Structure 1
Amino acid sequence: MTPQPVSSQGGIDADSFDAFIEQLRRYVRDRLIPAEAQVIAEDAIPEPILREMRDMGLFGLTMPAEYGGAGMNVSQYVEAIRQLSYALPAYRSITSINLGMVCSAIKNGGTDAQKAEWLPRLAAGEIASFGLTEPGSGSDSAAMQTMAVRDGDDWVLNGTKRYITNAPFAKLALVMARTSRETLPKNAHVSAFLVPMDPPGVSVGKSDRKMGQAGSHIADIMLDDVRLPADALLGGEEGRGFALAMQSLDNGRLSIAAASAGYGRRILDTAMRYATERRAFGVPIAEFQLIQAMLADSEIELYAAECMIADACRRIDAGEKVLRKAAATKVFASEACGRIADRCVQVHGGAGYLAEYEAERFYRDARIYRIYEGTTQILQLAIAKNMLREFASV
């Protein structure tokens, strides 16, 4: 997508954005959905489609225009993700780490030189990954084992990152590592590093087999005495890595919420189509009130999720801190998507358990959204802690 004029609210102007969304909506339905069977069979997005996605600018939606991106604000980016997520989750997965997390961290915390080096490459479609989770730690930064030790003008990194989306394809990993063996207040022992995937000592494990989300790949990233120049430290400052990661996770969580809402809409549409076509006792099963109740409950939850997403995005674009609201939105939307997928299987009855029908695949695909970017349970803790701190300060 060619960078467009900036609106008064930030991002591109409304007319250009509306035209892009209509183009994206058609592309999803006319090109991406028909290719889903091939993606599932080959467990990979075909290279011609990746080229098309790059040509459409889907890897650079949030990059500033001066770095070759479209310059969308968070509301626009998240709506684009919602539209893209109507199709197979792999299409969102390949772009979203660039857009919602790595780009955000570099924009918010990178030096001018880091922005100039990496943002144009990411906007052009080089794939990035985000290295926070480890074999023994995820949300628990105190348990992080990956170490970055200063050696003259260089940093030397050692450790393993686990379940890293896009690791097999990535050209860059944003890696969180300890720069202090002591666990410091406010997670100041964690710094962020821009790690190209080609230096000696960087290796990627085999892609993990997964329950669902065919075409999307996760793998371990191993760092064995990886020597990086001093300017690989994001922002050139130690101790800011975890804060930058959490800031970018707000965008990542809204992306997952949008993915849940977009895929939830696809799942509900599929359930309604089956309910109107499948007949029992001489009538379409859509005429049965208990089927209608499941469809209505799904619509109610989707509407609520869409409203939460729009509100959280509006607030972040206005400069508000949205940690609690982004977490709440992600929890609600991902849990709702799981319930909608379950109802879709139920509407299909026995057919819903067969791989011949999409309902079975939807059920498997949707399950990870309750885990991505913070499990429901860890986000419940984050929301409660934020509420209690706010209450105590009154």
Structure 2
Amino acid sequence: MAKKELKDVSVSGKKVLVRVDFNVPMKNGTVTNDNRITAALPTIQYLIENGAKVILFSHLGKVKVEEDLKKLDMQPVADVLAQKLNKTVKFVPTFEGSELEEAINSMANGEVILFQNTRFADIIDGNGQICLDDKGQAAAKRESKNNPELGKYWASLGDVFVNDAFGTAHRAHASNVGIASNIAESCLGFLVEKEVKMLSQGVDQPAKPFVAILGGAKVSDKIDVIENLLNKADKILIGGGMAYTFAVAKGDKVGKSLLENDKIEVAKNFLAKGKDKIILPIDNIEAPEFADVEGKITPDANIDDGYMGLDIGPKTVELFTKELQDAKTVVWNGPMGVFEFENYNKGTKAVCAAIANLTDAFTLIGGGDSAAAAIQLGYKDKFTYISTGGGASLEYMEGKVLPGIAAVQDK
């Protein structure tokens, strides 16, 4: 069923609760990258222009210990948002109670408030007390465990709920599922709506040929993705640390490369099921240690004893580029090597460039490190879509239901 979207809902004069993803990087109380704030602006501006009372809330980081209550305060985010909107954003330094209720009840149409970090409810209990376990760790867990009373309480603060936080759509939290289950009307915001449409086009209804590129450290992180994509993709190109488990499954030597011994049988089964669909590296760049030192190129897929593979080699880059040439749909998730090392980021850069230079294809990056790589390399505008949610887009690629979206009302 298609979900209700923002334009399906009347918002004028209504108190509209908007779950945004303002989980931005911070340093010394300053926002260091505001991409996620920018991504939410279309939804916020639409609500302002249509006379809604806009009540925004988000988590920020993981609230584990008492000091996080100072470190992960949302005030700096409110300041950045106010600059971007060129409008006052009232910050309410609490996530429940009379101060928040009074701020909401005194709002005029078109006004915006941002209330405090929803994850503070993981360390502060329903009586307003700091709640820690015997190791000094957050023990209330009201937000992250979807406490029913908290979800009902937040829902009671508004008339309409808009979920515009794709980055948490794979989590059943009080601030998404809890509110959506307890409010008269709910819908998707513009950002989540676009994410769902783009991921659906890339994964559920791909134009053929469809090529998936998977990288990253571990096969175990991508088992469900491979399982799902084997039924949909024409080719699956595998790089990164996960390729070495497949190499052993195929009978190649991997030296002291990253290897998941308990996943070799899984890899063998995938290779048997996928037959010629799965394309593995045919050469590597190896080094004697996990360090940013100059490596050497292997002549074939085998890695020397005492060495570890840290990137795909030039022949593999050529092979992967050739496999991509005729693709009409490309979905990419995970780097091809140790991208943070200057000596081992060439494979990821080359694959990124090969996808970016396709002229007649739908190209999608499923968030995470691949998204960071594409943006860092200046290819942001060369892809059809770059997902804002690493974990959520990965679970979508696995074919899983995302609870934060499922809880929103159907059209």
Q: TM-score, normalised by structure 1?
A: 0.25
Task: Looking at secondary structure, tell me which structure has more helix per residue.
Answer: 1
Q: TM-score, normalised by structure 2?
A: 0.24
Larger radius of gyration: 2
